[in-house]
Structures are given as C-alpha cells and as structure tokens.
Amino acid sequence: MLNSMLTYVIQKKYYFCLNCMSENKTHYTSDDFSLSRANTYSLLLQADVNHFDYAVLQDKQLLHWGTGFSTDELRDPSDLRDILTANYKKVLIGLKADALTLLPAALYEQAHIADAARLLDVKDNEKVLVEPLDEVNYNIYKVDEALLYAVKDLDNRQITHADMGWIKAVSANYPTNTSLYVHVGYECVSVLNYHYSKLRFYNCFSFKNHEELAYFCALVCKEIDLEPSKARLYISGDMNTTDGYFTYLKAFFGEVNLNSASVINLPATVAAHQILSLAALSLCAS
C-alpha cells in the first residue's frame, strides 16, 4: 500500500507554487526596539548559501524579525548595516548543512568522526562541523566555507546547525510515535520522528515542488514503518493552511497541522510556526 502511495504522490498533478519567502521582508518591529540597547539583545541568524533570516530578541521577547535576505548582505552589509554591525550580547548563528550524518555518542572518537565525515563527500570548499544532537547522537555535517566566511566578522557569535534549536523545541514538547515534525525552508525540508521520546529519524531533503515534499514525507513513513494514513504532520516554516502545499499534504496523511509550539514571546501578528525554527536557536545559547 505504501509503495503505491509513493507512486501516486508523484503521478498526481496539482499546479501551484509554495508561498516561499523568496523576497526579503521585515515582518515585525516592536515599538521597544532600539539598537542603542543592542548590548542587552541577542541576534539570531539562520542561513544557507543563498539566503538568511534574522531576529532580534531581548531575553525571550521578539523585537525585530526579517526573512529572505541574500547572504551577500552578511558579507557586505547595506540594507541591514545597522542591524548586522550592532554590538549584541550574543549572536546565535544556525547554518544549513549541505549534508549530514549522525554518529552514536558511544562511538564518539576522532577516528570514527573521520570515518563518518568521509560519507559526506567533503569538497575542497566545504568544512566539517561536529556537535552533540542530543544525549545519544552527534551531528556531523558539512557547510560551504563561503557561508562561514560570511559570518566571521560577527562578534560574540556561536555557530550551530540550523535545525539544532528546532530539534530541541520539538523534543521538549512531548513528541509522539506517529508524529512527523516537518520544517519547510528554502527548497529544503527537515523531518523528525521520535519513538517513546527518543529520536528515531532525522534527515533533510532538497525539494522543488509539492509532489517532492509529499514524496519525502511518505518516504520517511516507509522508513519508520508508519502508514501515511496514521501519520500526523506538524509543519513549521513558510506555510499556512490555505497554501496548495498544505492542501496537497492533507490528501495523503492522517492529519496535517501547523506546529503551534512557541519558545519565545510573540506578538499576535506573528504566527508561531513561521518563526519557530529561527526563534528556537535561542535554546542553543551556551
């Protein structure tokens, strides 16, 4: 049944576009926001090789939020010069990986890390980073060195994997066995599943359209032996219930919901699922 469903996902045709944040936009600015107090603020950045999103927090209060800016702005600030050059208390940077693999903590030795890194097919322009994913897994991932260069001048910075905060937020919210947690980014989707609160599946996939998004969600169901009709999807990122993508997913899975978990204080005009992954970087502060 699952194999036929995977085939059907590809064959069924819909024609619409994801409402992706492809153009830069400032979504929210608090009346209390003032860069004269930047030394009491945290700057959150989430970046891939082409785009970045950012938010400014004071403790757990959202003060400023923007999305879809070119990484060229990080290398040579113009429109966001004041934002990016302010003297923040902390700068938390989540970098999207070109590829990743997980290593059990029990095998955490330099030799095993090197063996795992070889699975990533690291190119000359890529760098391997390693960090604990949870209590039992290490995340070994590669990023483009140009991305690391783009953030090198940010003071008080702490670099982590782009999904790290989101994973922490999901794991703290009592995940169930039949739930898939899906974060939709810029032509990339991250999928999580837990089994009795222990991580069972985590991976990221590049996708171009609604069919590929549904296909990868169905593929994860197959991997964890879960019938799609019994799966509950909790989606974060740039999607809403009126999107064609959302409607398309509802045709294949038992439940499709927006992830309403919130890790910071938000104004009524900001939907929790849209900023969850970025805001959750605040959970990674050391």
pLDDT on residue 56: 98
Task: Give pLDDT < 50 ranges for the chain.
Answer: 7-22
Segments in the chain forming alpha helices (H): 2-11, 72-75, 81-85, 110-118, 145-150, 164-171, 210-223, 244-250, 272-279
Question: Phi and psi at residue 195, in whole multiples of 5°?
Answer: -125, 110
Question: Phi and psi at residue 47, in whole multiples of 5°?
Answer: -135, 145
Among residues 272, 283, 228, which one has the least CA distance to residue 254? 228
Segments in 119-209 forming alpha helices (H): 145-150, 164-171
Phi/psi region, residue 200 (left: phi>0; alpha: psi -120 to 50; beta: rest), is: alpha
Residue type, 16: F
pLDDT on residue 39: 97
Q: CA dist 28 to 25, 65, 169, Å? A: 9, 5, 22
Rounded CA-CA distance 44/158 in Å is 10
Instruction: Judge whether 66 and 24 are in contact, CB under 8 Å.
Output: yes
Burial of residue 189 (CB within 10 Å: 0-12, 13-18, 19+) is buried
pLDDT on residue 46: 98
Instruction: Judge whether 203 and 190 are in contact, CB under 8 Å.
Output: yes
Question: Phi and psi at residue 163, in whole multiples of 5°?
Answer: -90, -5
Residue 144 β-bridge partners = 126
Hey, how many other C-beta atoms are within 10 angstroms of the C-beta on 130?
15
Rounded CA-CA distance 170/99 in Å is 21
pLDDT on residue 15: 34
pLDDT on residue 11: 46
